[in-house]
Amino acid sequence: MSLVAEIDAPEEQAKEVIRALGRVFWYTAPPDRQRLLTRHYPACLVVGLTGIGAVGYEHGDYWSAVHNEAPGQVDQTLWGRAFRANLDHFRLARFHGLSQVNVGEILMHAGIPAYCLGDLLNLLLQRQSREPGLTGEGFLAWALAPGRESRLSGTDKPVQRFLQRGEDYAADLIDRCVDLLERLRQPAFNADGLGLSPHLIAKAQALAAADQLDWTGSSDRGESAAVATHQRPHLELEPYGRGLLVWLPPVHDATDGRVLWRLRFDGQVESVVSQSRWPGTRETAPATAVAVVRPARQVAVEPAGYDQEYELDVVDPRDPLLVFTADGRRVPATSGLPPEPVWLLYPQVGEGGGPLELRCEGDLLDTYDVPAPYGWLGWTLRHVDLREVSHLRLGDGTPRRVKGARRAQLQLAQPLPGVSSLAGAPVVATAPRLNLPTDPGVTTEWSVRIRRPGSGQLLHAESLSVGHDTAVDPWRHLVRPLVGAYEITVRGPLGRGLVRTLEFAEGLSARSNPSWREVTADGLEPVTVRADTTLPGLSVMPALTELGPADTAVELQLDSLAGAATVRVMPAHMAIQRLGGGSRGEWSLQPLRLDTETIGEGELLVRLPRAADARLIVRSGGRELQTVPSGATYGQPMARFSLAAIADTVGAHGLVQLDVRFDGQDFPAARCVPRRLASTVHIEGGRLVLVDGVRAEGLTAALYRVYAPWERPYLVHLGVNMVSDPLPTRVTTAGPLVALLRIEDPWLPSDWPEWPGRDNAFELAELKWQPAGQDPAGEAVSAYLAGVGALPERPEIAPLLFDLYPRADDLRARGVTANVRGAAGLLRPHPAAALAALTKHRASADQVVAPLVHSGLIALPPDRYVSTADEARLWTASPLAAMLASAHRLPDLAAQVDLREQVAAVCGEVAAHLLAGGSDPYETVGRFDQSAEVFALLPAEERDRVWRAMRVVPGGLLDADERMAAARHLFEVRVRPGLGRLSSSAEGLLRALQKPLVESGGPRVVGALQARNPTRGWLALPALSLAFAFVARLAARGHAAPAGLLPRTLPPHATLARSAPRLVAIDLLLAEFLLTGAGVAE
């Protein structure tokens, strides 16, 4: 037993216990009363008080229900103290540090009081409508996300406390409540195996009968089954390879087997493609993963074309300890830690710059440290054993409890090597036994239920009473051999059960010859896969398959009386991966093609059949030029090589071959070649033709439209003759094109850039533009760029103008004479359309700062322009746009709980302080003074060492570290031509702005500007940025003098925004918050 509520004492029995205990207590002499409660009747006290809490708590009042049963006979302080002592006596769970010392732990052991159940169930239904396949762990991760306290505001305090402090108890109880809701949907309710108290089940049934559960948006039984296997993106750790990853699930209904994922890491956008190599299967687009290459607070994940978005919390600045299981699974901050080896990832220094100490109660066994993930400078990655640890915390962060109670556990055998489901899950051939633990001298009740995932039909259910540790075969009553996915739910004491989905191929044997596939110049070594069965009743097809160099796996169809399934067999193979250097860091099954120009960035990893001594051989013209030993691999079957070690050799020879040598053999790993893939590109006879093209499989050209830069490129595959198939008319009549050449790796599908850079980009300027008559808004803008039409003042072109703005220099270089940046002015008359467009725009937060400035939208008066839901989306997509959309609500931030949490999550806790009228604690951070002049004289390498020591833990935009990081970027770009001209006029601009800002903004504005050190030259740029921001936000408030200055300030403000967008955005937010706070203070 974990919680007292699991005793399930009937309501009347709990009341009778309190009545009897009250009478005995009243007639006992005061000196003996403590002994009475802790020595004579400890169980009665614990069960009675908890039982009253479960059924008698109402409207924040607990003790009245106790006094009703024993009026005048209860000493609350003494009974509460005795209750806590009895918890220790019975070795029951303790919850220290609760604000209500007496009531807190009583109600924690009561679980969810019946009075509070309706609010909790309705909140679960609300989440289920947005997150199919909701689990207890997933719900807690959402409900307890840092800074999102309002998500539980609709529930009563006992529920909030239980969810916040209950850890595994809470996750298990939520799982049971989700199961309860599923059963309430069914025509005939069945409570068997739920593991919930009878009074909670009765209360839920009464709520359903009274129509007090909101089923709106919740799936019915059939729809629920269809989505029950839905998988969410989540964080994983690959400690010896790519580091911290965002795992992206398979998408079964993706068109052409392809899905584009968009991820926003604190507003910075990254796109990744998942492309099926087995078209026609159920797993259309396979699971993939994206490396988190720098510390981030949050990542928003969205599959393009699907109305779904997921938020994953990565680093909580207040408690930046990340914990992962031995197999790389993230342990949520809301869960207890497993008493086993784990991985810890944490920063070496805290927000104040001091060292962060890992504190623990017990003996922490350090196994070893490995290098932190690529890009996580200043972080430590440790492998430790928690078996002798009771609590763990980082610095002054929240203590993480290490689970003490033993859980039900499956005795899983090793999965079939190389065999997986179509969704990528491992497959087992042996049905595991189930271990059911108990405590000495205690009988523990367990229930076991098995079904197909997503099905409401049970395959097997049983209840067991266990008086000692027992191993059972839960599969013994099922039809065998087991084939496909089975979900097993084991429930016992709260927090000690399990829910697990297993993929079975019972009796399958799959062998390959050779057992290990080596990499050759053409791909993988050919292999034969032989499938067989070891149990009667199982059939498998095909029995024999030959895989060529381009084939990685074979799909087998399994059939038995239990069902049918398709599994994928991928023989063990060598693989090659590049970390860093702009690579996605995925494993390739053929030699990589690396650019000679960037060879010194990152590492080269090679997967080997076993841990072995390996070396990287650099060859050119058949000669060995250099040999590099593998770095540390910590006993893993791989080799890893620093590419910086071969940079000079490759740079000197240009064209080289990289081989990996182990066991006396050499295997091709990569080929380093110059980036240039052709000398020229032109169109001839309606086909794309390459001159002096590199003959390589996968050579592809992406054709970008100069007059429609918002369109995705048209892809053209080049044959061995360097000529494409005929181009469609919509491409040849789109006007000038830019052809970007790239060699596509079939093993590593990747998205094309939004716009081509300089390398391997060729202009096709001779093509003429003709309207196609399909997209009126797009064609109107294309006509403007082509010089044959005026730009229409229509709100639907707003998204296109945001796309155009960052392309201005590129388009001008390619002959576009239209005023591309000036076109942003058309956004100002349509603020609602402009802001709404940014909720779906694919640009990063930094990219949209300059067009918002140039258009004058930064002087937008506070008003309602978009829906509340779109306001919330903007805080993820563009904090600057979000501020403009939410400015009308900021003065009343204290009453706007959702907005307050969004602002704090993005801008940091200092934002609420400023909006309440407080002074800026970081007002001097980021200014350039005389020390900046000295710093500018240091060598670049020494400056980099100083910068690398900063911003280890990501914070809010207005936190000191983020402001300093933005100022650092401005410092690095201060000599750009546009900023050079602005620096020369900075002193005069500041002088001209001073009087209107003083008169309109008052001392609060003056103080903020003085703190920025308004001086001369480039040293004045931080002060000038803040001055421009105050002009815009004072103009938004109707001040005439600042409004009159806007025509003069917006152009240089936009120049500054193009070079230092983060600082400009921060200063606009800061100006708005300071001005709003000044009004609140007055």
- What are the tens digits of pLDDT across the range 591-627? 998 888 888 888 999 999 999 899 999 998 889 999 9
Spatial separation of the C-alpha atoms in residues 589 and 561, rounded to whole Å: 37
pLDDT in tens, 373-432: 888 888 999 999 999 999 999 998 888 989 877 889 999 999 999 999 988 889 999 999
Spatial separation of the C-alpha atoms in residues 205 and 386, rounded to whole Å: 42
CB 520, CB 552: distance < 8 Å: no
Please give the pLDDT value at position 223.
Answer: 43
State the DSSP string of 673-734: E-S---SEEEEETTEEEEES----TTEEEEEEETT-TTSPPEEEE--TTSEEEEPPHHHHTB
Spatial separation of the C-alpha atoms in residues 591 and 519, rounded to whole Å: 7
Please give the pLDDT value at position 948.
Answer: 56
Spatial separation of the C-alpha atoms in residues 568 and 554, rounded to whole Å: 6
Nearest Cα neighbor of 488 from 501, 505, 470 is: 501
Spatial separation of the C-alpha atoms in residues 408 and 437, rounded to whole Å: 6
Q: Does 514 sit behind a cis peptide bond, omega within 30 degrees of 0 on the bond before it?
A: yes
Please give the pLDDT value at position 1028.
Answer: 97
SS3 string, 886-902, reads HHHHHHHHHHCHHHHHH
CB atoms within 10 A of CB 214: 14
User: pTM for this structure?
Assistant: 0.84
CA 468 to each of CA 474, 664, 798, 948: distance values in angstroms, whole numbers, following the listed order: 17, 55, 69, 56
Please give the pLDDT value at position 647.
Answer: 93
Please give the pLDDT value at position 374.
Answer: 80
Q: Which residues of the chain fall short of a pLDDT of 50?
A: 220-229, 280-282
Please give the pLDDT value at position 946.
Answer: 61
CB 436, CB 470: distance < 8 Å: yes
Please give the pLDDT value at position 858.
Answer: 97
Spatial separation of the C-alpha atoms in residues 706 and 767, rounded to whole Å: 10
Burial of 139 (0-12, 13-18, 19+ CB in 10 A): buried
Please give the pLDDT value at position 609.
Answer: 93
